[in-house]
């Protein structure tokens, strides 16, 4: 495509693309990302439906545990959003080896975050009790958390690889991988939670195990796509070069750029987490209903979230070329399209029949 920074060469600040071309480039990135994000959100929606099949108490407990897990996951993935921005900038300036370097150090950051978070999620029973949650809900929530926490590392690793692949304007494989993993998760949920095909009925632990399997599937599939010798697009990026070494300079850039995003997300998502705890104090039925309503909102929110990722990539690519007019245009296009989409959602919601 004409506006592709890598094809245009590094630091060509005189390159101009029209608003229509920028819109096309943005949507080419954002639509597959949005499809992938919605598919992941639908995974949580399907999990919620199957928790409901297990009963009101498992639905309440599973919803509480899923909210705790998502707090760790969203904070971590937001922290790692800096990988996408830095990789896009390197891609725009024609430095493919630095893209690979950013990806490697991003995986190290993901590993360090998982090493801190995974043990913490296994020892939250006392905290849930202190927060006034139903004594019948706590052990069920714990049974979910002690299993699903092992999906945090591949989920964070997938976020790093997704940001890297997206920065190179190659988002369709992400969509395919996430859609495939979503289907596998749904099948795994049914088999493991309800004891089909000779497996024991594991209840909430079965749902958590299926989610862990889905996270590992996405991470390993995208890693294989990046490293596959036949993938011509990624030749020259040297993703495996000295993968075992910490490189403090790019690592520092990831941490410096990522921590404000991670902290902001922690507090933003913390509002929903605190709300969930309050619902738990009100009772099991209220907590279960909150989980259903929350999952519906999450599915809608995934689209503007994907648009924000697309905006980060487009701005980062133009920043790599130091093309300030195109940075401004990319920002205006992305904000305009996102605002337009959410305006349509608001109008549609206003005319939705109330129960």
pTM score: 0.83
Residue 353 or residue 304, greater confidence = 304
Inform me whether the pLDDT recorded for 195 exceeds 70. yes
- The single-letter DSSP state of residue 187 is H
Could you give the CA distance from residue 61 to residue 208 in angstroms, rounded to a whole number? 12
Instruction: Indicate whether 127 belongs to any domain.
Output: yes
Instruction: Indicate whether 257 belongs to any domain.
Output: yes
Q: Place 264 in a pLDDT band, splitting at 50, 70 and 90.
A: confident
Mean pLDDT of the chain, nearest integer = 84
Residue 192 domain boundaries: 48-300
Instruction: Indicate whether 170 belongs to any domain.
Output: yes
Question: Average of pLDDT values for 34-60?
Answer: 80
Instruction: Indicate whether 85 belongs to any domain.
Output: yes
Instruction: Indicate whether 7 belongs to any domain.
Output: no
Question: Average of pLDDT values for 260-273?
Answer: 81
Inform me whether the pLDDT recorded for 11 exceeds 60. no
Residue 312 or residue 44, greater confidence = 312
Based on the number of CB atoms within 10 Å of its own CB, is 227 exposed (0-12), middle (13-18) or buried (19 or more)?
A: exposed
Residue at token pair 């990302």: 33
Based on the number of CB atoms within 10 Å of its own CB, is 59 exposed (0-12), middle (13-18) or buried (19 or more)?
A: buried
* 15-18-21 Cα angle (round to 5): 100
Instruction: Indicate whether 155 belongs to any domain.
Output: yes
Instruction: Indicate whether 4 belongs to any domain.
Output: no
Span 209-246, pLDDT tens digits: 999 999 999 999 999 988 887 666 777 777 877 777 78
- Tell me, what's the pLDDT at 355? 56
Domains in the chain, number: 1
Question: Average of pLDDT values for 77-88?
Answer: 89
Could you give the CA distance from residue 1 to residue 216 in angstroms, rounded to a whole number? 33
Inform me whether the pLDDT recorded for 13 exceeds 60. no
Interhelix angle 81-92/284-320, rounded to 10 degrees, is 20
Q: In Å, what is the CA distance from 273 to each residue of 54, 65, 89, 147, 160?
A: 23, 10, 34, 20, 24
- Tell me, what's the pLDDT at 235? 74
Q: How many residues does the chain have?
A: 355
Question: Average of pLDDT values for 70-80?
Answer: 87
Inform me whether the pLDDT recorded for 15 exceeds 70. no
């Amino acid at each position: 495509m004409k506006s592709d920074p890598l094809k245009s060469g590094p630091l060509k600040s005189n390159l101009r693309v029209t608003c229509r071309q920028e819109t096309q480039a943005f949507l080419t990135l954002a639509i597959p990302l949005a499809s992938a994000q919605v598919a992941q959100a639908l995974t949580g929606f399907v999990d919620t439906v199957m928790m409901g099949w297990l009963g009101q108490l498992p639905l309440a407990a599973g919803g509480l545990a899923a909210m705790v897990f998502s707090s760790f996951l969203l904070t971590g993935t937001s922290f790692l959003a800096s990988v996408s921005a830095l990789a896009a900038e390197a891609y725009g300036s024609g430095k493919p080896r630095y893209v690979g370097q950013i990806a490697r150090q991003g995986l190290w950051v993901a590993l360090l975050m998982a090493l801190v978070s995974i043990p913490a999620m296994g020892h939250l029973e006392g905290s849930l009790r202190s927060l006034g949650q139903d004594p019948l809900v706590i052990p069920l929530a714990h049974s979910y958390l002690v299993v699903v926490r092992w999906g945090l590392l591949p989920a964070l690793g997938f976020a790093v690889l997704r940001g890297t692949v997206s920065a190179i304007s190659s988002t369709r494989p992400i969509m395919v991988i996430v859609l495939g993993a979503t289907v596998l998760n749904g099948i795994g949920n049914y088999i493991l939670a309800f004891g089909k095909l000779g497996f024991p009925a594991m209840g909430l632990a079965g749902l958590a195990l299926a989610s862990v399997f889905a996270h590992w599937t996405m991470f390993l599939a995208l890693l294989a796509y990046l490293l596959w010798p036949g993938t011509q697009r990624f030749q020259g990026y040297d993703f495996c070069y000295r993968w075992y070494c910490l490189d403090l300079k790019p690592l520092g850039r990831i941490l410096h750029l990522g921590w404000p995003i991670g902290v902001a997300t922690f507090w933003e998502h913390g509002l929903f987490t605190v709300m969930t705890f309050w619902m738990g104090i009100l009772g099991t039925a209220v907590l279960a209903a909150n989980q259903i309503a929350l999952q519906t909102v999450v599915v809608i929110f995934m689209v503007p979230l994907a648009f924000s990722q697309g905006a980060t990539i487009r701005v980062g690519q133009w920043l790599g070329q130091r093309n300030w007019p195109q940075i401004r245009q990319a920002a205006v296009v992305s904000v305009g399209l996102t605002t337009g989409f959410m305006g349509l959602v608001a109008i549609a919601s206003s005319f939705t029949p109330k129960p």
